[in-house]
């Protein structure tokens, strides 16, 4: 479902271009996150550049793997929880979508989602906490690893 727009636009090449654009956005936001956390713009830029030039980043950005889309959701959620102000309801709803997307892409990202949501719950306002828990529960059914797949008989 994730690559349908790119595939509809240009087949396999269109899907690969879509994934490369997602990887480019992920790398740009990774620089923003590193700069926000360290306050050292040049070092953040150099390290992000080095990460983006690795073979692993190149391969995962041009093939149909969930790693870069999940990394994009991860970086966006980290940018959300590292803001200077206390997260509210709108932040909680966006966080629920991002964390559900991570788990939807692969259930192996659930521990990261749990850590980020725990940090959000500690930092957030009471209304944001209730909104995250409510939206997360509502979106839970969209994540394959969280639905019941057992049968009787």
pLDDT digits (tens, 9 = 90+) for 129-140: 677 777 666 666
pLDDT attached to residue 149: 40
Domain of residue 112: give its range: 66-144
* Assessment of whether the complete model's pTM goes beyond 0.85: no
* Region label for 11, one of left (φ > 0), alpha (ψ between -120 and 50) or beta (otherwise): left
| Residue 108 belongs to a domain | yes
Which of 63, 92, 108 terminates a domain? The answer is 63
84 CB contacts (<8 Å, ≥6 apart)?
none
pLDDT attached to residue 141: 65
Which of 13, 36, 63 terminates a domain? The answer is 63
**pLDDT band at residue 33, thresholds of 50, 70 and 90?**
very high
In angstroms, the CA 129 to CA 118 distance is 10
Percentage, residues of the chain above pLDDT 70? 82
């Amino acid at each position: 479902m994730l690559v349908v727009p790119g595939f509809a636009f240009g087949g396999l090449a269109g899907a690969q271009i879509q994934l490369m654009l997602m990887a480019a956005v992920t790398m740009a936001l990774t620089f923003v996150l590193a700069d926000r956390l360290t306050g050292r713009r040049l070092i953040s830029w150099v390290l992000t550049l080095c990460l983006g030039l690795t073979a692993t980043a190149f391969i995962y950005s041009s093939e149909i793997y969930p790693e870069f889309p999940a990394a994009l959701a991860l970086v966006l959620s980290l940018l959300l929880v590292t803001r200077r102000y206390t997260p509210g309801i709108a932040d909680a709803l966006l966080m629920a979508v991002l964390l559900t997307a991570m788990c939807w892409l692969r259930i192996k990202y659930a521990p990261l989602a749990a850590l980020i949501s725990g940090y959000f719950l500690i930092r957030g306002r009471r209304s944001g906490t209730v909104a995250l828990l409510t939206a997360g529960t509502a979106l839970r059914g969209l994540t394959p690893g969280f639905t019941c797949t057992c049968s009787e008989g």
